[in-house]
Amino acid sequence: MLQVTFIRENKELVVEALAKRNINAVEMISDVLTFDDDRKRLQTELDNTLAESNSLSKEIGNLYKSGEAQKANVLKEKTGILKETSKELSDLLNAKVEALNQLLYKIPNVPHSSVPKGNSEEDNEEIYKDGDIPTLHDGALPHWELAKKYDIIDFELGNKITGAGFPVYKGKGARLQRALIAYFLDKNTAAGYTEYQLPLMVNEASALGTGQLPDKEGQMYHVTEDNLYLIPTAEVPGTNIFRDVVLSESELPVGVTGYTPCFRREAGSYGAHVRGLNRLHQFDKVEIIRVEHPSNSYKAFDGMIDHVKDILKELKLPYRILRLCGGDTSFAAALTFDFEVFSTAQDRWLEISSVSNFETFQANRLKLRFKNSEGKNELAHTLNGSSLALPRVLAGILENYQTEDGIVIPEVLQPYTGFKIIN
């Protein structure tokens, strides 16, 4: 959530930056400032009323002590009126603060200056590419056909048990899935991230804190009776570890990693591009999260990019990095780089990671602060990234490592799988 002081001091900048998201924010920003002016006016009136009431209360006490009860009783009637007025002002103030917050919740983060303007993923900028695209043998198959051929993933069984988008991993497919999770976690903990095992459901405050609410409400599975949400990513419970927390400056940076299943409704996703593992309602993901000093967050962002690069180099998968345009950057992010792996059998790029810097946007919602060198509380910066999302990484391995004899396991994963080939 943007801070009102930032909006007030940078009104033109905010309007111009949000235009990169194809949002005309002039009216929204004007409404925020009007509501904030009203809030300030009500706060001043309330403060003055309370101050007058407190002053009269002291005067009444002195009058009673000096035996001037009649004068004291006259003033007492006035304090009664002031108390009613202060209650009315307090109610109006609370309503105005709530209305102001509701306005602020609808305003997305200001994109970083390097974010290009654009409408959709077609306007994203490719900034890096690495790895050799393999030449496959004649008759090479997409991963959903390979899964059936080697009996390692059963999409039809998942459809029977739950519905489309809930695959069942079997035998060596399940073992490969587990190997990827263990490998990713080992890489992350070796890089200094502390591993957490996190809840798979969160409350409304947690979803609001990281920006899933109110922006992505329709994409989450909602347990209505308990008002809980199945997590769309470990980012939500992982970042909410620090909700309402004041860290000392010496505690920064903080790094968190965790494996969780993730749940997304993905309403309206149909067609050949979502076949097999390309888009699921339930999938596994290992996440990395950082809480950083504002002066270090973009250096940390670069470090997270290098970390994901290193994993993909060890897996020997061809990949590229995209800088997302304003129209494709998520609601809460200031800057996002997407990693995509090339699926040779499908002849297309598949997104397998997003690394984002949210600057103070999430921290302001979460009230996540640190005590700076001057002893003042300051909002921290939050960052997160997939390290990695499993389905499309698995799809890339199955398709790019297939041979006429079977699917070769990447060398770095063989100590985790205990086998070298699926055949």
pLDDT tens, residue by residue, 382-393:
999 999 999 999
Task: Return the pLDDT at 73.
Answer: 85
Q: Is 233 annotated as a binding residue?
A: yes
Q: Is 354 annotated as a binding residue?
A: yes
Q: Is 243 annotated as a binding residue?
A: no
Question: Which amino acid is located at 267 in the chain?
Answer: A
Same domain, 180 and 42: no
Task: Return the pLDDT at 270.
Answer: 54
Same domain, 82 and 137: no
Residue 306: domain span: 121-422
Check which CATH number belongs to the domain holding 244 and give it: 3.30.930.10
Same domain, 362 and 258: yes
The total domain count for the chain is 2
Task: Return the pLDDT at 69.
Answer: 85
Q: Is 10 a residue whose pLDDT tops 70?
A: yes
Q: Is 400 annotated as a binding residue?
A: no
Contact present, 214 and 106 (Cβ < 8 Å): yes
Q: Is 265 annotated as a binding residue?
A: yes
**How far apart, in whole angstroms, are the C-alpha atoms of residue 4 and residue 229?**
29
Give CA separation, 280 vs 209, 341, 390, in Å: 25, 17, 11
Task: Report the interhelical angle of 11-18 vs 26-65 (nearest 10°).
Answer: 140
222, 236, 373, 216: which is closest to 294 by C-alpha? 373
Q: Is 384 annotated as a binding residue?
A: yes
Task: Return the pLDDT at 253.
Answer: 98
Task: Return the pLDDT at 38.
Answer: 97
**How far apart, in whole angstroms, are the C-alpha atoms of residue 355 and residue 385?**
4
Q: Is 353 annotated as a binding residue?
A: yes
Q: Is 351 annotated as a binding residue?
A: yes
Q: Is 264 annotated as a binding residue?
A: yes
The whole model's pTM is what?
A: 0.93
Same domain, 99 and 244: no
